Amino acid sequence: MNKIYTTTLALLAAMMFFAACANAGAKNDKKTDNAPKAVKELDAASFSEKVFDMDSEDLVFLGDKPAIVDFTARWCGPCQRIAPILEELAKEYEGQIVIYKVDVDKEKELAQAFNVSSIPAVLYIPLGGEPVMTVGARGKERFKEEIGTLLLQK
C-alpha cells in the first residue's frame, strides 16, 4: 500500500511540474505575439490611405517607398509559412520598402478588387512602374530576388 501511495504522489508531482512548464511556455508565447510587427495589417480604409485609393477611378500608388501587399488568411498553411519570412524581410529592408498584409476573410471586397482567387498572393508595387501579382509560397531567397528585380530594380 505504501508503494502505491508513493508512486501516486510521484506521478501527481510530475504531472503538476509538466503542467506548470506548459503554462509557462504558453505565457511566453503570448508575449511574443504582442511584440510589434514589422508587417502591418491593413483593412480597406487603411489600404485606401496608404496604398491605393479604392474610391478613385485611377489606381495611383500612394506610398513613398516600394511596397509588398501579402493577401493572406489565418487558415492558410502556406500563408502562415511565409509570414515569418515577410517579418524578417520587413526588418531587413526597413527604410527601403514597406510590407503590408491583408486578411482576405476580413477584406473580401479588397481581395476581389485585385482578383485574388488563390493565396498566398503577393502584390509587388514599385514606385515607378506597374504592380506585379505573384501567387504561391516561396522562400526567403526568392522573395529577396523579387524585391531586387521588381521593387529596387537591382
- Which residues are catalytic, by number? 76, 79
Contact 111, 71 (CB under 8 A): yes
**Count of C-beta atoms within a 10 Å radius of residue 71:** 24
Cell of 42: 491593413
87/115 Cα distance (integer angstroms): 25
Contact 118, 88 (CB under 8 A): no
Please choose, from the candidates 125, 41, 34, 126, the residue with its C-alpha nearest in 3D space to the C-alpha of residue 83: 41
152/66 Cα distance (integer angstroms): 8
